[in-house]
Structure 1
Amino acid sequence: MLTVELVLVGVSFYLLWNIGANSSANALGAAVGSGILNFRQAVFITSLLSFLGAYLRGEAVMKTVGDKLVSGLSTEALIIVLLSSGLVITLATVKGLPLPATQGIVGSLLGVGLAFGASIDWKTFYLIVLAWVASPFISMLFSIFLYRYYSIFVRRIKSIKRLEILYKWMAIVSGSYIAFTLGTNDIANAVAPLVGAETFTPQEASIFGALCLSLGAYTLSYPIMHIIGKKMVELDPLSAFSAQMGAAFSISIANYFGFPVSSGQAVVGGIVGISLSTGERIKKKTVQHIALGWVVAPLFSMSLSYVLVKLLL
């Protein structure tokens, strides 16, 4: 492997480690916030299922981000893409902000593409943005439906012991599903430049991505988890299940068509849906704080990558 490719792999590790620290909380936050899973259990589930998601179903997103959106980029340019994305996510993690890694990576790709005058598929970009906008609303609708449907079912169970068992399995199932989509979406999105540069095959990139994400989740994900699971709205087990499943359905629909979306946006959309169903007052300042990251992420990463290209290449 050439030196420049080693640098590409190193920067990829940095980005994926940051995604593990920031975005893995989207799978962990609701379940841990409800008290059903502890931190270590949730990280283990996320690590295993995100690997399976990337390995089995991640190729569609890898193709969109790695080949279709911006074509003809050199390995050096891809290093700038990954580096600028990682720096933005690091800043967000330090500030305790659940910043969407997907927007950061796509924004960086656009910035580098514009700096080099590369061929940008604007139709694909507009479709990706449309998926970003639609994802939290679809998640919200799914979550409302699931909460109302399962509330009727749960109210019929009188045994506290049975309820506890049911809640535990609901948390495990929903956490596993959204962790799976973390692989099909976030890991696939992050390793797409590695596949596009032919440094790794999709399967090799999936293994590499899952290992890096797991390390990030174990080391730095807890502060973001606290924001998602506690600061925005208190979640009971049924709420956690409905929010996570609604988010996972939304992400799966986008990934089926090859579009990378923000798992964070989907989870927040699901939690907002739960607050509407229960009538519980949502903490607007926290939502506004998170939404600001959604807007800033692509713009800042695009600007940073553009400037880095002009300075370094």
Structure 2
Amino acid sequence: MADHDLDPSHLETLDRDLARLSSLEQATAFVGRSTVGLSISFIFILAVAAATALILGDAQNTVIVVIAAAFGAYMALNIGANDVANNMGPAVGANAMSMGFAIVVAAIFESAGALIAGGDVVSTIAKGIISPETMATPAMFIAAMLAALLASALWVNLATWIGAPVSTTHAVVGGVMGAGIAAAGFAAVNWGQMSAIAASWVISPVLGGLIAAGFLWFIKSRIIYREDKIAAARTWVPVLVGIMGGTFTSYIVVKGLKKLVKLGLPEALLIGLVVGVLIWLVMIPVVRKQAQGLENRNKSLKVLFAIPLIVSAALLSFAHGANDVANAVGPLAAIVQASSSGDFTHAIAIPFWVMIIGAFGISFGLFLFGPKLIRMVGSQITKLNPMRAYCVALSAAITVIVASWLGLPVSSTHIAIGAVFGVGFFREWDTARRMKASVGVASDAPRLDASERSRRKLVRRSHVTTIVAAWIVTVPAAAGLSGLLFVIIRTLIGG
């Protein structure tokens, strides 16, 4: 072999060429996946429309219901792409689950929640935002629901594209409000209910963040900062897992099993307490065995939180499927009922075939487009490990229970993202506090200038700004788009 063949400059050139080739392959693969994802989504929407046409046959207003089913399928895809990231992101970011495993678990439990425990009776027009009597005819009502469904789906699609996890419930509420205003004026809106929803923009993330930060402080003070971390973990991890098990039991009873069994909050809390104590007792020997041979360092503690974190992500997905599938198919069910019977002033039960559209749509959206938001929630806002992700998951469940007790309307999306913010900002505060303490001990320790302190911040401010801005504009943006679509749709279908 000639000497010039081993010239370092030639090797560097080869490395650069290989790097370019690798980047090109990755970019091509990404474009291919995006194209395939869009194609599969389009095929799914067409399949839903065709299946709906077969189910309805020559029934009245078949064309309108087929269009509504396509809009519902589109909305379900967007819910899967955006909303499910809040449940799986922390576990993936903490490396407790791989992306593929998380998507499979989420798809199974989202579908199970939707089909087993979903389909509870929904109100006539999305949570009482618009008075039913303001709609003069069934045709006007159908146009309003079509506009609300399409507008909310388009807005969630846009939010996913820019990388902002938003509340699909708020998008639907905004869509219904906008269509109602376009149909019957501002007097048709229940402004008291809208004020409560607006208050939840602040209450949900703040409450979620405070609870998550509180649990992280407890874990740090009782386990991480102890001299013998493993001994402390043997004492407290069973307690923490018991709290998580009891809380999630109450959470599932309150939010995920409404269709199967009607229990009040006191009964749900009592059941959760019993289950939590049992889990605590079971986990004592389990954790003791897991802790054998572990080194006395923080990395060892991650092993003890991995399985509880996976279980919590699965349960969050089940409850989410049971509750939020109505965002995709609630308006569709209302259209089906109004088209078949002309009745739109009474409560609406969701047919099973409509639930299947929602369940499959959420799963497809998660498979095709979910990873982008899962990565953002799990690793790009702040760095998560199993202990921090545990705090996020537990905070989501506790906050929903507290909100139910107080009668406050809250968003599961805002709670989960607020919990991630809370963990990140607590870490910033705790790191600054410890650095200040170390500077006080060592007088010769270097002091950081403002730019260095900013660089070391543990929460990415750009994501905070993007997400909060998307939260604020979700309702008005969906409302404005829905109002415009209502005018167009009503012109096309009449009424």
Per the TM superposition, whether the score is higher than 0.5 is: yes
C-alpha distance in structure 2 between counterparts of 1:32 and 1:52, whole Å: 21
Query: 1:310 is aligned with what amino acid?
Result: V
Please tell me whether residue 244 in structure 1 is matched to residue 415 in structure 2: no
Instruction: Tell me, yes or no, if the aligned pair for 1:22 and 1:99 is still in contact at 8 Å.
Output: yes
Query: 1:234 is aligned with what amino acid?
Result: K
**Percent identity (aligned):** 26
Counterpart pick for 2:192 among 107, 123, 147? 123
Bigger mean CA deviation after superposition, 182-191 or 263-272: 182-191
Please tell me whether residue 312 in structure 1 is matched to residue 379 in structure 2: no
Corresponding residue SS for 2:163: coil
CA deviations 1:11-39 (Å, max 9, x no partner) are 00001101101111111111111111011
- Cα 1:256–1:309 change in 2 (3 A) is farther
- Cα 1:164–1:272 change in 2 (3 A) is closer
Please tell me whether residue 103 in structure 1 is matched to residue 164 in structure 2: no
Query: 1:189 is aligned with what amino acid?
Result: N
Bigger mean CA deviation after superposition, 194-203 or 262-271: 194-203
Counterpart pick for 1:46 among 106, 109, 114? 106
Partner of 2:239: none
Bigger mean CA deviation after superposition, 176-185 or 26-35: 176-185
- TM score, norm. by length of structure 2: 0.58
Segments of 5+ residues of structure 1 without an aligned counterpart are none
Which has the greater radius of gyration?
2
Please tell me whether residue 209 in structure 1 is matched to residue 358 in structure 2: yes
Corresponding residue SS for 1:235: coil
- Cα 1:94–1:296 change in 2 (3 A) is same
CA deviations 1:197-237 (Å, max 9, x no partner) are 35583362444322211110000011111111111100011
- Cα 1:10–1:254 change in 2 (3 A) is farther
- Cα 1:64–1:303 change in 2 (3 A) is same
C-alpha distance in structure 2 between counterparts of 1:87 and 1:16, whole Å: 11
Instruction: Tell me, yes or no, if the aligned pair for 1:29 and 1:226 is still in contact at 8 Å.
Output: yes
Corresponding residue SS for 2:148: helix
Please tell me whether residue 170 in structure 1 is matched to residue 308 in structure 2: yes
C-alpha distance in structure 2 between counterparts of 1:64 and 1:239, whole Å: 40
- Cα 1:187–1:110 change in 2 (3 A) is same
Counterpart pick for 1:141 among 192, 202, 210? 210
- Cα 1:212–1:206 change in 2 (3 A) is same
Instruction: Tell me, yes or no, if the aligned pair for 1:186 and 1:260 is still in contact at 8 Å.
Output: no
Mapping for residues 146-225 of structure 1, pairs under 5 Å? 146-151=215-220, 152=222, 155=229, 156-157=232-233, 159=292, 160=294, 163-199=301-337, 201-202=349-350, 204=352, 205-225=354-374
Partner of 1:264: 413
Bigger mean CA deviation after superposition, 77-86 or 246-255: 246-255
Query: 1:284 is aligned with what amino acid?
Result: R
Instruction: Tell me, yes or no, if the aligned pair for 1:131 and 1:254 is still in contact at 8 Å.
Output: no
Partner of 1:8: 68
- Alignment size in residue pairs: 312
C-alpha distance in structure 2 between counterparts of 1:50 and 1:83, whole Å: 22
Bigger mean CA deviation after superposition, 33-42 or 277-286: 277-286
Instruction: Tell me, yes or no, if the aligned pair for 2:72 and 2:357 is still in contact at 8 Å.
Output: no
Counterpart pick for 1:87 among 131, 138, 154? 154
Partner of 2:466: 289
Q: CA deviation at 1:187?
A: 1.9
CA RMSD of the aligned region, Å? 2.7
Corresponding residue SS for 1:218: helix
Counterpart pick for 2:422 among 252, 273, 286? 273
Instruction: Tell me, yes or no, if the aligned pair for 1:58 and 1:183 is still in contact at 8 Å.
Output: no
Partner of 2:5: none
Query: 1:227 is aligned with what amino acid?
Result: M
- TM score, norm. by length of structure 1: 0.88
Q: CA deviation at 1:163?
A: 4.0
Counterpart pick for 1:75 among 135, 142, 145? 142
Please tell me whether residue 59 in structure 1 is matched to residue 59 in structure 2: no
> Which structure carries more relative contact order (alpha carbon 8 Å, separation 6+)?
1
Partner of 2:285: none
- Cα 1:130–1:312 change in 2 (3 A) is same
Instruction: Tell me, yes or no, if the aligned pair for 1:247 and 1:270 is still in contact at 8 Å.
Output: yes
- Cα 1:272–1:80 change in 2 (3 A) is same
CA deviations 1:128-171 (Å, max 9, x no partner) are 22233211112112212322334425732354398454222122
Q: CA deviation at 1:67?
A: 5.6
Segments of 5+ residues of structure 2 without an aligned counterpart are 1-55, 57-61, 234-290, 338-347, 432-457, 491-495
